[in-house]
Amino acid sequence: MRDNKNSKMTIIKGITISFLFAGSTVVLAKDDSANLTGCAKKACEVNHQLLTAKRQGNSHQVVGLNKALNNTNEYCTQNGLKAELQQKIDDTNSEIEEYKTGLKKAKRQGKHDKVKKYQQKLNDETKQLKQLID
C-alpha cells in the first residue's frame, strides 16, 4: 500500500514538473506571451514571474506565485478575466473623473503646482485606461 502512495506522489510530482517546464518553454518561445490570450497568457505571465523569483532566490515570492499559478490553472475563465478587466477599467475611469474634478478646482483657485500634479496624474490614468482597453 505504501509503495502505491509513493508511486502516486512520484507521478503527481512528475506531472507538476512537466507543467512547469512546459510553461517555461512557452514563456521562452513566446517571449512575453505576446501571441497568447486569456487564461493561457495569464498563466504564462505568472510562470514568467515565478521563474524570475526562482532565479533571484526569493522563496517567499516563489510560494505565492506557485499558489497563483495553481489558482490560475484551476479557476481561470474567460468570463472571469473579462469581469476583472472591466472592473479595472471602471476603477480607472473613476480615478480619471476624480483627477478632472481636482484639476478644475486647482485651476479655479490658481494653484499652478496642483494643476501640474493633477494633469500628470490625469495623463497617467488616461494612458493606463488606453492600455486596459487595448
The whole-model pTM stands at 0.58
User: What percent of the chain shows pLDDT beyond 90?
Assistant: 66
Same domain, 70 and 15: yes
Same domain, 92 and 33: no
What string of DSSP letters covers 27-95? HHHHTTTTT--HHHHHHHHHHHHHHHHHHHT-HHHHHHHHHHHHHHHHH--HHHHHHHHHHHHHHHHHH
**Grid cell of 28 as nine digits:** 521562452
CA distance 47 to 20: 8
30 or 7: which carries more pLDDT confidence? Answer: 7
pLDDT of residue 10: 53
Same domain, 70 and 85: no
Give the orientation angle of helix 78-109 with respect to helix 38-56, to 10 degrees.
80
Mean pLDDT rounded to a whole number for the chain: 82
User: What percent of the chain shows pLDDT beyond 70?
Assistant: 75
Structural domain including 62 reads 2-76
pLDDT of residue 22: 47
Same domain, 18 and 71: yes
Residue at which a domain ends, from 54, 76, 98: 76
